[in-house]
Amino acid sequence: MSMKTIYILNGPNLNLLGQREPHIYGHDTLATIEGLCRTKAKALGFEISFHQSNIEGELVSLIQEAREKAQGLIINAASYTHTSIALHDAVKAVGLPAIEVHLSNVHAREAFRHHSYMAAATRGVICGFGPQSYTLALDALAHILNQKEKA
């Protein structure tokens, strides 16, 4: 039996984690977060396909790819969260259960970060827990997928 796959997508500037504004985003690198996600996913009986892109169109293509290769999606669209109708539309179009994540609490930051185009396309939003935001999202998505399987 093959394992179920969850796509985890990361948007612009997340490749600079550990160097970029550590007082906001922490000292962990994206590679560290990927390792945490792989360990958590394995414990939950899932595999992950982990990606990062600074290019909106590449993220759209990865979301569309997930339609054929994954059962669920976790997305940290970073600044595209607040600007990208294209990412919103892609998540809606593929119909996969999706969860939006952020390392920082976007609601405690600048006003422009308070609106998310992604939120309306996802099952939920987890923010403000640093790298644990991702593992919490994996727990939530595993629960959603396991409930769906039982139905």
Active site residues: 25, 102
- Under 8 Å between Cβ of 74 and 99: yes
Contact predicate 48/75, CB 8 Å: no
For residues 6-36, b (16+ Cβ closer than 10 Å) or e, as one string? bbbbbbbebbebeeeeeeebbebbbeebbeb
